[in-house]
Each structure stands twice: as structure tokens, then as C-alpha cells.
């Protein structure tokens, strides 16, 4: 069961990087904040934390990637996007330094632990099944998993009401039906992902390759690679073979990735995830805001997913702190200023992505003619 009756300043819904960083920033400022998340939505696989994203995290804990969680530094990017030969970009020329390839569950858990250590309350395996606005507060109905561990906040399975002055949505691309919060349109891109065995030691290189069907990336992961294939939703539906066969048939058409992998044997299942860019028209409302991918999810081409989650979470936390300090009752959040700041950053990302996709389209059309 959950503690009932007490009113928190803020409840953050979602336990990924955006939710954890937002809760961490609020807790460090002395805000009574609870973070609740449902593990069933947690993504797996390997994520790239960019050099800039790494800088953001290390501002909270400088030894985060050396002592708390360990990943693989990405020293270079090898790209075969719209050129005849691969282009190599060395991280030493990046002012932010090298990024880190890291297991997503480890990253999420470590960031939540930072928020807990700063004074935030973490409520694991808690699913929001109801939300109601009551005068100057929210009433959330949360249901815990039968397997949820017992601690000072929860005691196994149960359902309870939690009260708060303000809600932060950090639910990623998954909209919550209790708010005016749904994407503008369904994403047109799907990312197919799996782990690959390697013919040689993977090293510290990120590979990116554009093909006629979509584009690929491969991150070093242990003794192999974590590979993703981004393709249009309609193109995927029109495939003539099973998902696994289709994936490896397309893989064999690549020039960079195919030589790296040891074949399709003994591989993990293929998983799928919505890719492409997603925009939510409502980024907040009456005493609630969204952060991270729940505002606007960047295209995976950008490699800024974690970076965006952290940056938007910090922006949301800063503006929320300003509102909390000024208010004694209702939290008067400057939503127009927050939305404008988010949209400016999204517009810059969209401009960059459009440039690269247009270049790739031109190359494909040239080859076809």
C-alpha cells in the first residue's frame, strides 16, 4: 500500500532520465517530491549518452560514469550516410567530449538513486490508474505490482490515493489518458533492434549508415553490438518475409555493419520501438507540465534522446521551482514561456534532421535513376 493523505509539492510520473533528473533537481532544492514509475514501460537495450548529455549528468555527480555506472566511451563515429566512402568523426574534436554507450536500465536506475539520495521519494512499480483535480490539488490513484518490493513507502500490492500540488509527466512517448496529452500524429518510423555477435572486438565506435530502406546504427555492447534499423512504418508492413529474416536480409545489404556481425545465429529476438519525431501539442496545463519525450521526442538520427530528456527536465524543474517559490497555494506556472523554450529547441532539431533526410533522399533518387 501507499501512504495516503499527505500532500506532496510535486509528483513526477515516469522513471526514465527525464523524470529522474527533474525529481533530482527539485529534491536538491528542498522540494517535497515523489517519483513514481511503472517498470512495464521501461525500455531496454543500449543508449548513447552524448558528450553534452554526459556533461549534464556529471554536474550532479562528477564520477557518475566512472564509479556509479560503467559504459563504453564512444571515441569516434563512422558514418556512411550520403558519401561514397565512410566519414570518420573523432570525439576529441567535440567540445563536449566523448559520449557513452550504456545499458538503459542501469542508467535509469542510477539516476533514480541520485534523486532518492537527494531526498526524493521513489515509488517503484506503481501504475497511475486514475487522476482527478480537486480544488488546489491533484488526487492520483496508483496501483502497485503484486511483486513490488516493500519499503518505507510501499508494502507490496495495493491501490491508494496520492495527493500533490503539481504533476510532472515524464512518461515518454506514452500519453496519459487523464490529460489533454496525445501526440499530433502517429510516428511514421519504427526502430527494430537486437544484439549482434561480433567478428572482432567492438572497440569504441558508433556506426551509422543510410540505405535505400532506412538507416542503421550500431553501438558497442560488451562483446558485440547493439544494432538498430529505422524504417518507415508502411515499408515495414509491406515486407515479404518474417521480421527476423527481414531484419538480417536488410543487415546484409549494409557496407559498414554487415562485416562487423557474426551472422544471424544465436541472436536475441528482434524488438521494435516507435522512432521518428513525435510532438505533443499540450506540454502542460492546470498545475501540470510534461518533460522529456512527453513534450517532443527527437528523431533517433539526432542521437540526442537522453540529452533532450535531461535538458528539458532541467528547464521544467527550474521554471517549476520559480513558480513554487512565488506561490502559497496554487502553483502559477509560466506555461507559455516553458512551451516557447521547448519549441525553439525542437525547431532546431527538426531543421537538422530534415537536412540529413533530404540529403539521403537525394542520394537514393540519384542512384535509382
| 149: pLDDT strictly greater than 80 | no
Distance separating alpha carbons of residues 341 and 295, to the nearest angstrom = 11
- Give me the chain's average pLDDT, please: 86
Count CB atoms within 10 A of the CB of residue 98.
19
Which grid coordinates are listed for 349? 532539431
> For the chain, what is the radius of gyration of the CA atoms?
21
Q: What is the pTM of this model?
A: 0.88
Highest mean pLDDT out of 73-77, 148-152, 212-216, 298-302 = 73-77
- Residue that is written with C-alpha cell 542510477 in the block: 110
- For residues 160 and 170, the model is more confident at 170
Strands 121-123 and 33-36: parallel
Provide the terminal-to-terminal Cα distance of the chain, rounded to the nearest Å. 65
Confidence of residue 21 (pLDDT cuts 50, 70, 90): very high
Give the DSSP letter of residue 168.
E
Architecture field, domain 189-275: 2-Layer Sandwich (3.30)
| 327: pLDDT strictly greater than 50 | yes
Distance separating alpha carbons of residues 26 and 120, to the nearest angstrom = 8
Distance separating alpha carbons of residues 62 and 68, to the nearest angstrom = 10
Query: Dihedral sign, CA of 194, 195, 197, 200?
Result: positive
With beta carbons less than 8 A apart as the criterion, state whether 196 and 39 touch.
Answer: no
Query: Dihedral sign, CA of 264, 301, 96, 85?
Result: positive
Distance separating alpha carbons of residues 140 and 124, to the nearest angstrom = 15
Domain ranges of the chain: 7-54+101-184+278-355, 189-275
The CATH homologous superfamily to which domain 7-54+101-184+278-355 belongs is: FAD/NAD(P)-binding domain (3.50.50.60)
pLDDT digits (tens, 9 = 90+) for 244-297: 999 999 999 999 999 988 765 556 789 888 887 777 888 888 889 999 999 888
pLDDT at res. 189: 86
CA distances from 180 to 128, 170, 290, 309, 330 (A): 16, 14, 11, 21, 20
Amino acid at each position: 500500500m501507499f501512504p495516503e493523505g499527505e500532500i506532496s509539492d510535486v509528483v513526477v510520473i515516469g522513471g526514465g532520465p527525464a523524470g529522474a533528473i527533474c525529481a533530482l533537481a527539485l529534491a536538491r532544492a528542498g522540494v517535497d517530491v515523489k517519483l513514481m514509475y511503472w517498470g512495464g514501460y521501461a525500455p531496454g537495450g543500449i543508449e548513447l549518452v552524448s558528450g553534452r548529455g554526459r556533461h549534464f549528468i556529471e554536474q550532479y555527480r562528477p564520477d557518475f560514469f566512472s564509479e556509479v555506472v560503467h559504459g563504453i566511451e564512444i571515441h569516434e563515429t563512422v558514418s556512411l550516410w550520403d558519401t561514397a566512402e565512410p566519414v570518420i568523426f573523432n570525439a576529441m574534436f567535440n567540445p563536449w567530449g566523448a559520449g557513452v554507450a550504456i545499458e538503459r536500465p542501469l542508467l535509469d536506475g542510477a539516476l533514480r538513486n541520485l534523486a532518492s539520495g537527494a531526498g526524493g521519494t521513489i515509488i517503484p512499480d506503481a501504475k497511475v490508474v486514475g487522476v482527478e483535480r480537486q480544488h488546489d490539488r491533484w488526487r492520483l490513484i496508483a496501483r502497485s505490482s503484486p511483486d513490488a518490493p516493500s519499503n518505507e513507502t510501499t508494502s507490496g500490492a495495493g491501490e491508494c490515493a496520492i495527493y500533490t500540488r503539481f504533476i510532472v509527466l515524464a512518461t515518454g512517448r506514452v500519453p496519459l489518458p487523464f490529460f489533454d496529452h496525445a501526440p499530433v500524429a502517429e510516428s511514421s518510423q519504427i526502430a527494430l533492434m537486437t544484439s549482434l555477435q561480433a567478428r572482432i572486438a567492438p572497440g569504441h565506435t558508433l556506426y551509422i549508415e543510410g540505405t535505400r530502406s532506412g538507416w542503421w546504427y550500431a553501438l558497442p555492447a560488451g562483446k558485440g553490438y547493439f544494432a538498430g534499423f529505422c524504417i518507415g512504418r508502411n515499408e515495414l508492413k509491406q515486407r515479404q518475409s518474417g521480421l527476423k529474416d527481414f531484419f538480417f536480409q536488410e543487415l546484409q545489404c549494409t557496407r559498414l555493419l554487415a562485416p562487423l556481425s557474426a551472422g544471424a545465429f544465436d541472436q536475441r529476438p528482434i524488438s521494435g520501438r516507435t522512432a521518428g519525431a513525435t510532438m505533443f501539442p499540450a506540454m502542460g496545463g492546470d498545475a501540470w507540465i510534461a518533460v522529456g519525450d512527453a513534450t517532443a521526442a527527437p528523431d533517433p538520427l539526432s542521437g540526442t534522446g537522453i540529452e533532450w530528456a535531461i535538458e528539458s527536465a532541467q528547464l521544467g524543474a527550474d521554471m517549476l521551482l520559480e513558480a513554487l517559490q512565488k506561490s502559497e497555494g496554487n502553483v502559477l506556472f509560466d506555461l507559455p514561456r516553458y512551451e516557447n523554450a521547448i519549441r525553439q529547441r525542437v525547431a532546431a532539431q527538426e531543421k537538422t534532421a530534415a537536412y540529413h533526410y533530404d540529403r539521403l533522399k537525394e542520394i537514393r533518387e540519384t542512384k535509382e535513376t
